[in-house]
Amino acid sequence: MAKKLGPPIFLGIFTVLALVFLTGGATDDKDDLRQTFQVDAVYYDTGHVEISFFDKSEKTTTVVMEILGMDESFQKTFSDSQFIEIVPFPTEPKYGWAIHPVVLEIDHADFGHVQLKTEIHLLGDPAPPVIYSKP
C-alpha cells in the first residue's frame, strides 16, 4: 500500500519557509525594521490581551491591526505612531496562542508598506519573535 507523502512534504516545506522568515533569510535586511518598530501582545488572566505598538521614528501614517483565528476576526485601524489596545479574551485558547497571531499592516513614510506578525504570550513569559516583512 502506498503512503501519502503530501502532508509530510507540505509540513517540511512550511517549516523551512517559517525558519527563513523568522531568521530573515540569508541576509538580514530587516535590522532597520527591528530597530524602528516594537510590538507586543500580552494576555492577562483578567481576560484580556494588551497589544502595544511603537514606531521610534514617528513616521507611521496608518496601522491596521488584526487578530486572526477568532470566531469573529478583530480588526482596527490606527493613525498614529503608537498605541495600546485592550481586546477582551475571556479564556486562553485550547491549542495555544499560536492560533491567534497578531498581524499589523503598517504604512510608513520611509519604509512604505510593512507587515509585522507576532503571537500573544502570557504575562511574565518571554515575548515570541516578531516577523518583519516588506511585500
Domain parsing of the chain, residue ranges:
37-133
The residue among 82 and 2 whose pLDDT is bigger is 82
Q: What is the pTM of this model?
A: 0.76
Q: What pLDDT shows up at residue 26?
A: 43
Q: What pLDDT shows up at residue 105?
A: 97
Q: For residue 9, is pLDDT > 70?
A: no
Q: What pLDDT shows up at residue 88?
A: 93
37-133 folds as Immunoglobulin-like (2.60.40)
Integer Cα distance of 100 and 74 in angstroms: 10
DSSP symbols for 44-75: ETTTEEEEEEEETT--EEEEEEEE-SSSS-EE
Q: What pLDDT shows up at residue 16?
A: 47
In the predicted model, what is the mean pLDDT of the chain? 84
pLDDT, tens digit, for every residue of 25-52? Answer: 544 568 999 999 999 999 999 999 999 9
Q: How far is CA 32 from the centre of its chain?
A: 17
Q: What pLDDT shows up at residue 15?
A: 55
Q: What pLDDT shows up at residue 10?
A: 47
pLDDT, tens digit, for every residue of 64-104? Answer: 999 998 888 899 999 999 999 999 988 888 888 899 999 99
